[in-house]
Chains A and B, each alone.
Chain A
Amino acid sequence: MPKTEAKISGARLMVELLEEYGVDIVFGYPGGAILPFYDELYKSTKIKHILVRHEQGAIHMAEGYARSTGKLGVCIATSGPGATNLVTGLTDAKLDSVPILAITGQVATNAIGTDAFQEADIYGITIPITKYNALIKSADDIARHFQEATLVALGGRPGPVLLDFPKDVQTELTSVRKVDKLKIDSRHYQKPPIGGDLDSFAAALNKAKRPLLYVGGGAINANASKEIKELAEKGNIPVTTTLMGIGAFPGTHQLSVGMLGMHGTAYANKAVLECDYILNLGARFDDRVAKPGEFAENAVRAHIDIDTAEFNKRVSVDYLLHGDLKEVLKALIPKVNKVDRPEWVGFLDTIKKNHPLEFDDSTDTIKPQAFLQKLYEKSKGKAIVSTDVGQHQMWAAQYYLFEEANRWLTSGGLGTMGYGLPAAIGAKFGNPNKTVICVSGDGSIQMNIQELATIAMYKKGVKILIFNNNFLGMVRQWQELFYEERFSESEWNYNPDFVKLGEAYSIKGLKISNKSEIDKALEFFLEDDDARILEVMIPAEEKVFPMIPAGKSQKDMIEFSDTVRAGKK
């Protein structure tokens, strides 16, 4: 479209800016204060709008879309309640570094601050949960704010941004389509130069006898999988990933020791205890992984991150490099010695053999771990998997292995129940030809279950797996282990019939409770590209192991075999 001097409305301009940016899909829900924008969206042939059932669904869809495609996720809501319904999703995206642009309607500028109908100070509310936010006060400012917001969302460590768009600014005319001078510093969006001393960093790594790579979500955002593999293979360095880093290194690789932390594998946590050097690649030593003062306390600790605020935040490190992980690794790898480490790699192989992920599969009931192993085999490990939050999330993290990044969608930092279903829908819109599976529980699925209607309306073949134990399983697990089995408010005395619920939305469903039914159920689940609901009844007392109790360190890990020895299963 040729640039014209003619004045257009703010709403028109916003739609054109989105189109020019390359946005072809947005998730949203209309309302009074955003109507001029929706009127222009109606005329757009380039942007497909997905109508959701709740704004929280919209933003988690945008997150699922963004994480599975690497692109910016866009969501729209009206003012007041529409905008406040985005708050959980914005916080989720902030903690997990997901690039999201939220556009919210706002009451007209002359009504702001008067407690007008559907008015909420979403600018003020979202200050701590966005990387950038702005209340657009004039149509002449739209272009600048849009440029700044999109640059910041994807620049450096990605994250959510919000533009609050008053109704009168949507109808105001402007000819300012582009600005040359932004008000924010380029450090917020340009790749930083490599900061730190590469040579001494490499020398410390080369000196290590038992090194370990500890890979976080930043590796996925930096698209650094290839470099991590190269580094690991060159130096024969075992790799553990965080929950958010899953997929950044192939889960089936000989050097992979799986996930570390609270519900990580025993061998990953033992590797942390035994290593003499640990290199954090885009992770943040968070409290589900590292206890300050005790994490890899005898090892040399090194950290590469794009966010300097992560350095020495919880765990102090000896060596650090600042910059884009991919660029830093490219510069570092040539300085790293090619080494065979038969002893160290062999030692970890032995631990893998002696301390595998374990569960008791001797009864006829379905064990979620066994089911997930089968699901992994049947889907050939190629699915995009989203999860909700709780036991099912940890089992999926342990038993579904990923060869590639951007296939594992989970709420890591915030732990948002209700993330899984909409995230899967968003991922399916971004990856129409891939199998997308939402692994959920009977608790989590009910937090955004209204989005079944979005699946039905757009005929999106999302596969929904519900592990049903009629409990908030993870809450129950903690109550059993740490609150002397006082199951305070964790049991559902009522659950809907999930299969019938699916039928109400024209989604085919099946419920199974016996081990013998698994194969047939999986065939039904994956046979075509239609949506499915598969409800799998599991025992309430099944627990996630290994487990490091909250606030404890790797040394205090409880393994399944420990509980068997103690007479508890």
Chain B
Amino acid sequence: MKHILKILVNNHPGVMSHVSGLFTRRSYNIDSIAVGVTQDPEISNMVIVVKGDDSVVEQVKRQLLKLPDVIEVEDLAYHDCISRELVLVVVKVEDSNRTEIISICEVFQAKIADLTKTTMTIEFSGNTRQVEHFMEMMQKYGIQEIARTGQIALKYRST
């Protein structure tokens, strides 16, 4: 089962080691990790996507809360949060398929960030499913390079 953990931490250099160390010890594979500063410059928001049994993730959550630099941990349910990931992908292009790729990008609302005679660098953002779907569409043209940010997420607000 996939979990999106939103972890608010003190913004200083050692925090990443403290947090990632906990995951390493329990041999967790982190699917993605994204860190950025919040509205308060002293606090960072870490979003970690991890697979694991609910009970084990609950354990890790409690262990995380024991770290002095961890302020808050929230297990965001998938259906209850807005999650986005940014991906940059370089695909091979030929004169014959350039228009085709551009029209696919239009459907996905992906942006063409760079263009050469033989390649196209496309910028796309969406939730995991949309990103996977988009990548699948690009597969057939020949992907040369990918850079992904990992997911960031926020809970839906109720009014």
Contacts and interface: CB of A to CB of B under 8 A. Distances in A.
Interface string A296-315: 00000000000111011100
B158 interface: no
A148 interface: yes
B63 A309 contact: yes
Interface string A124-150: 100110011011000000000000100
B68 A188 contact: yes
B62 A309 contact: yes
B62 A152 contact: no
Interface string A183-209: 111011000000000000000000000
A307 B68 contact: no
A224 to B, nearest CB: 21
Nearest to B18: A127
Contacts of A123: 14
Contacts of A308: 62, 65
B62 A127 contact: no
A312 B55 contact: yes
Nearest to A184: B68
Contacts of B55: 312
Nearest to B72: A185
A313 B26 CA distance: 13
Contact of B66 (A135, A307, A311, A313): A307
A285 to B, nearest CB: 13
Interface in B32-67: 42, 55, 58-59, 62-63, 65-66
Nearest to A128: B21
A185 B73 CA distance: 13
Contact of B68 (A152, A311, A313): A152
Contacts of A188: 66, 68
Contacts of B69: 183-184
Contact of B17 (A124, A131, A152, A183): A124
A127 B68 contact: no
A131 B68 contact: yes
Contacts of B59: 309, 312-313
A509 to B, nearest CB: 44
B87 interface: no
A interface bracket (residues with beta carbon within 8 Å of B): 20 to 34
A131 B62 CA distance: 14
Given A308-B62, A309-B59, A309-B66, A127 B10 contact: no
Given A312-B55, A313-B59, A127 B66 contact: no
Interface centre among B10, B59, B68 (most CB of A within 10 A): B68
A124 B62 CA distance: 22
Interface in B58-89: 58-59, 62-63, 65-66, 68-69, 71
Contacts of A183: 10, 42, 69
A148 B14 contact: no
Contacts of A148: 68
A131 B68 CA distance: 8
27 contacts: A124-B17, A127-B14, A127-B17, A127-B18, A127-B21, A128-B21, A131-B66, A131-B68, A132-B68, A134-B14, A135-B14, A148-B68, A183-B10, A183-B42, A184-B10, A184-B68, A185-B68, A185-B71, A188-B66, A308-B62, A308-B65, A309-B59, A309-B62, A309-B65, A309-B66, A312-B59, A313-B59
**9 cross-chain pairs, A with B, having the tightest CB-CB distances, nearest first:** A309-B62, A184-B68, A132-B68, A308-B62, A309-B63, A127-B21, A128-B21, A188-B68, A127-B17
Interface of B: 10, 14, 17-18, 21, 25, 42, 55, 58-59, 62-63, 65-66, 68-69, 71
Given A184-B10, A184-B68, 8 more contacts: A127-B17, A127-B21, A184-B69, A187-B65, A307-B66, A308-B65, A309-B63, A309-B66
